[in-house]
Amino acid sequence: MLSRFNLFNLNFLEDAVLTGIGFYFFNINEVFILIIYLRFLIMDKEERVRLIRKGNELFNKGDITGAASIFVTTGYRDGITRVADYYFFDRKLPLVALKFYKMVNRKDKVDEIFDRMIFALGKLLKSDSVNSRDSADDNTDSNEVEVKVHPKLKLLAEEIIRDSEKNKS
């Protein structure tokens, strides 16, 4: 698979992915993993160590975005996991953390995020059904409440459903 890509077009490939062109041709996670792998192959060990130290400094100073870009560039799995933990536990942004956990193949954390999302969705649907039954019992005019779902969450939920249907087959 790596022979399909020219190493000198790595920046073009990354730009294509980040601007959205790559979404039509590749799975986004595969493309990011490919970019990490190719950069890791090109980078010499001294440069990688220097960049990882710089990333650790940035992380400790609180520049998480800068540290994350360095960790992803160098393929430093421990650093990427720390960034994911920061977004998941400290910032309470599980969808951002999910991207980083997928990069380092932390299936346990990915499953935990999916389980929490399914739990929250179940609670939301259950409370809506209880509220609609209560309002129907009161014989009052019930207006339907339109629940707005973020498009990323909707896509992620559809992906979970597709994966679970594939696993059942």
Q: Between 92 and 11, name the one with better pLDDT.
A: 92
Task: Return mean pLDDT, the chain.
Answer: 76
pLDDT tens readout for residues 97-109: 999 999 899 999 9
* Tokens found for residue 10: 């790595």
Mean pLDDT, range 35-62, rounded to an integer = 86
Return the minimum-mean-pLDDT range out of 96-110, 113-127, 136-150: 136-150
Spell 65-82 as b/e; 16+ CB within 10 A means b.
eebbebbbbbbbeebbbb
Mean pLDDT, range 47-72, rounded to an integer = 94
Task: Give the HSE-up count for residue 148: Cα atoms under 13 Å, Cβ half-sphere.
Answer: 1
Residue 126 in this model has a pLDDT that exceeds 90: no
Q: Between 143 and 146, name the one with better pLDDT.
A: 146
Mean pLDDT, range 139-145, rounded to an integer = 51
Residue 19 in this model has a pLDDT that exceeds 50: no
List the domain boundaries for the chain. Answer: 107-169
DSSP state of 130: H
Task: Give the HSE-up count for residue 130: Cα atoms under 13 Å, Cβ half-sphere.
Answer: 6
Any idea what the Cα angle at residue 71 is, between residues 69 and 72, rounded to 5°?
A: 65
What is the rounded CA–CA span in Å between residue 23 and residue 126? 35
What is the rounded CA–CA span in Å between residue 96 and residue 87? 7
pLDDT range class, residue 87, cuts 50, 70, 90: very high
pLDDT at 158: 83
Residue 7: count other Cβ atoms within 10 Å of its Cβ: 11
Q: How far is CA 44 from the centre of its chain?
A: 28
Task: Give the HSE-up count for residue 8: Cα atoms under 13 Å, Cβ half-sphere.
Answer: 0
Report how far apart the first and last C-alpha atoms of the chain are (Å, whole number): 28
Spell 14-34 as b/e; 16+ CB within 10 A means b.
bebbeeeebeeeeeeeebbbb
pLDDT at 144: 55
Return the minimum-mean-pLDDT range out of 49-58, 92-101, 150-159: 150-159
